Structure 1
Amino acid sequence: MSGAEVYSLGRVIVDLYAHELHTPLRKVESFHKYLGGSAGNTAVGLARLGAKAGLISRVGNDQFGAFLSEKLAEEGVDTSMVNTDPNYPTGLAFAALFPPADSDVLFYRKPCADAHVSLEDIDFEVLRTAKALTVSCTVLSQSPGREATLAALEANRDSGGVNILDLDWRPMFWQDDEEARVIYRAALRLADVVLANEAELVFAGQSDKPADAARTLFSLGVTEVVAKRGGNGVLYYGNEEEFYVPPVAVEVLNTLGAGDGFGAAYTYGLLQGWSAQKRVRFAAAAGAIVVSRHSCSEAMPTLEEVKEWMDETPQQV
């Protein structure tokens, strides 16, 4: 039996990013097509760094689904648990870019294929041989993805694997915040590492103070919380240490995908057994590279690119 050493579970969609910068979507005339979605981006990011990575998701029975499957294969991602949904189309995201500010994203995913990943898509025997599972938590927003995700987290934990949750909190995908908190809490009880931006950490930890929010997550069994703060650097909270890593100087083109690049690099560091300090600095550099490029998945750096960036680019203080 052979499988990947790390699997990503969650969204894989087609990203359509505007060629024209600082232009609202209604006035954009041309777009570039990329593989996107947090889990898809993370799987590509891990593969480019040299990890043996796989994806657990669904694509539509359409040309966009074929495009995603082909791109994943080109990147060396194991697609044995990426199935074609017989009923729902591939999800889309259109983005207008306003560097250095955040982008304006319009999702077409009600319904869509990746939201319907199910228990039958997961080869649990193979999953139990993996070292790590990363989850993009949007997949928790509806059934059957919700149940499949919780089962995958439980199986990976039972076999000794590390569970990494990217909170990926997007309120528009949920019925209401209270429903989301209940489901998130169930997933967090199966998590080892949590990656979150400030808004996501406030939501999950129910406190606007990062340290207090992290302690709430520790009470559920989480052992590491990594707060991604963009131009304000990174806060790390662990059972035995806390520290701050300043931001990396970079010219921002597109903020989308930076968190996925960060998460892929952080997970890679976990697989290598690196110290927390080394993992965070490496991940911050990978995220900085991604924001300097137009796309998400195709912006994911190689191991050599991250090392070169770290050697050449000073951190801010």
Structure 2
Amino acid sequence: MKEKEFDLITFGRSSIDLYSQDIGADFIDIKGFDAFVGGSPLNIAVGATRLGAKVSLLTGIGNDKVGDFIINFLKEQNVNTDTIARIDGARSSAVVLGIEPPDRFPLVYYRDNAADSQVTIDHVIAAKIDQYKILEISATALNIEPSRSAVFYAVETAFDNNVEVFLDMDFRADQWKDLRSFGLMVRAILPKVKIAIGTEEEILAATLQHADQVHISHQQISAPEIKGDIEASIQKIIKSGPELLIVKRGSKGATVYYKDGNKRDVPGFPVEILNVLGAGDAFASGFIYGYLQGWDIYKACRLGNASGAWVVQKSGCANAMPYHDELIQFVDSWGGL
């Protein structure tokens, strides 16, 4: 890669996340919450920074105390916040989360008039995308204007300046008025994406034909049940442009699909699950860090799997991301990468 001032800039959601203190309790019986930060791009920024990358976050926050809370945490984590826009008249986002292991993690989003959806093309210009090696974008930022146009502009700028574009599919069904528009936006941007990352559900969502293919139970917005032909969907995504598609498969690890039709399974680290929320972002941060080190895709994915396994054992997202030495120690305890 050509030398750049920064390693990575992530673009999309940011929020205050209120996590249930009562692990296993039904949502209506929760007595208290712990305040963390979240949003997929924020989580990835923190995770990659803790591993050793030089990272900025491009997002929007309100002129409010929640925005101050988010900025303060990011500064403590050494994430560059100069690219974060304060949006007058908008509110910093919030999410309330229940934790009912092993398989129920309900979410309630508060995103009316969300500041992170009001990032504009001018904010992207000010962020100087050309100074980075990698631009990572979250598909949720494509759901509404002006952030939708800002994402397309950021990707175009990156593509024209030899900045590699990574896409996290990050499907949140309740953020789309028409669920099929998620796929339309994703497929429109894929020709300029080098590496796309998603779960099987997100890949099915990106090729959705009918809204009734999606079913959400127990308000698990981040983990809907989606009907469809996963292999056909994978091929449709690959043919849309990216060199690689990485399919996250939880404790099973990940599968890498290549443009030439080859694929490779990368085993995971099966651990006891406390909370799956944020695990996919941990995977992305670990993978991107390994990629930035010049590792091969398999080894980078293994580190991503390890980072995801680390986080599912914790109750937070960004706050639970591993630091470099503790993640390497965890990997070594499993026999290495």
CA contact 2:251–2:271 (8 Å) conserved in 1: no
| TM-score, reference length from structure 1 | 0.94
Instruction: Report the alpha carbon displacement of residue 209 of structure 1 after superposing the two structures with TM.
Output: 4.3
Query: Which of 255, 278, 288 lines up with 1:257 in the alignment?
Result: 278
Per-residue CA deviations over 1:42-77 (Å, capped at 9, x if unaligned) read: 110111010000000011111110010111111111
Where does residue 21 of structure 1 map in the other structure? 23
Query: Which of 93, 96, 108 lines up with 1:94 in the alignment?
Result: 96
Where does residue 214 of structure 1 map in the other structure? 234
Per-residue CA deviations over 1:192-221 (Å, capped at 9, x if unaligned) read: 111101101112245944443232122221
CA contact 2:307–2:321 (8 Å) conserved in 1: yes
How far apart, CA to CA, are the structure 1 residues paired with 2:171 and 2:232?
A: 19
How far apart, CA to CA, are the structure 1 residues paired with 2:143 and 2:109?
A: 15
Q: Does the residue aligned with 1:54 lie in a helix, a strand or coil? A: strand
Quick one: which amino acid aligns to residue 291 of structure 2? L
Task: Output the aligned Cα RMSD.
Answer: 1.7
Higher mean C-alpha deviation, range 168-177 or range 236-245: 236-245
Structure 2 unaligned blocks of 5 or more:
209-226
How far apart, CA to CA, are the structure 2 residues paired with 1:135 and 1:297?
A: 17
Q: Does the residue aligned with 2:83 lie in a helix, a strand or coil? A: strand
Structure 1 unaligned blocks of 5 or more:
none
Instruction: Report the alpha carbon displacement of residue 3 of structure 1 after superposing the two structures with TM.
Output: 4.8
CA contact 1:124–1:155 (8 Å) conserved in 2: no
Instruction: Report the alpha carbon displacement of residue 123 of structure 1 after superposing the two structures with TM.
Output: 3.2
How far apart, CA to CA, are the structure 2 residues paired with 1:125 and 1:22?
A: 42
CA contact 1:205–1:212 (8 Å) conserved in 2: no
CA contact 1:290–1:301 (8 Å) conserved in 2: yes
Higher mean C-alpha deviation, range 297-306 or range 38-47: 297-306
How far apart, CA to CA, are the structure 1 residues paired with 2:95 and 2:5?
A: 30
Instruction: Report the alpha carbon displacement of residue 83 of structure 1 after superposing the two structures with TM.
Output: 1.2
Higher mean C-alpha deviation, range 228-237 or range 75-84: 228-237
Q: Does the residue aligned with 2:174 lie in a helix, a strand or coil? A: helix
Where does residue 132 of structure 1 map in the other structure? 134
Instruction: Report the alpha carbon displacement of residue 80 of structure 1 after superposing the two structures with TM.
Output: 1.1
Query: Which of 61, 77, 95 lines up with 2:79 in the alignment?
Result: 77
Q: Please say if 1:115 is aligned against 2:117.
A: yes
How far apart, CA to CA, are the structure 2 residues paired with 1:81 and 1:122?
A: 8
How far apart, CA to CA, are the structure 2 residues paired with 1:308 and 1:68?
A: 29
Instruction: Report the alpha carbon displacement of residue 314 of structure 1 after superposing the two structures with TM.
Output: 5.8
Q: Please say if 1:288 is aligned against 2:290.
A: no
Aligned residues with identical type, % of pairs: 30
How far apart, CA to CA, are the structure 2 residues paired with 1:72 and 1:281?
A: 26
Where does residue 224 of structure 1 map in the other structure? 244
Where does residue 299 of structure 2 map in the other structure? 278
How far apart, CA to CA, are the structure 1 residues paired with 2:36 and 2:307?
A: 19
Q: Please say if 1:175 is aligned against 2:146.
A: no
Where does residue 194 of structure 1 map in the other structure? 196
Q: Does the residue aligned with 1:259 lie in a helix, a strand or coil? A: helix
Quick one: which amino acid aligns to residue 155 of structure 2? L
Quick one: which amino acid aligns to residue 259 of structure 1? G
Structure 1 residues 61 and 312: alpha-carbon distance in aligned structure 2, compared to 1, 3 A threshold: same
- When the two structures are aligned, how many residues end up with a matched partner? 314
Structure 1 residues 313 and 279: alpha-carbon distance in aligned structure 2, compared to 1, 3 A threshold: same
Where does residue 298 of structure 1 map in the other structure? 319
Structure 1 residues 208 and 306: alpha-carbon distance in aligned structure 2, compared to 1, 3 A threshold: farther
Instruction: Report the alpha carbon displacement of residue 231 of structure 1 after superposing the two structures with TM.
Output: 2.5
Q: Please say if 1:203 is aligned against 2:223.
A: no
Instruction: Report the alpha carbon displacement of residue 125 of structure 1 after superposing the two structures with TM.
Output: 7.1
How far apart, CA to CA, are the structure 2 residues paired with 1:215 and 1:124?
A: 36
CA contact 1:249–1:314 (8 Å) conserved in 2: no
Where does residue 164 of structure 2 map in the other structure? 162
Q: Please say if 1:308 is aligned against 2:329.
A: yes
Structure 1 residues 215 and 127: alpha-carbon distance in aligned structure 2, compared to 1, 3 A threshold: same
Quick one: which amino acid aligns to residue 307 of structure 1? I
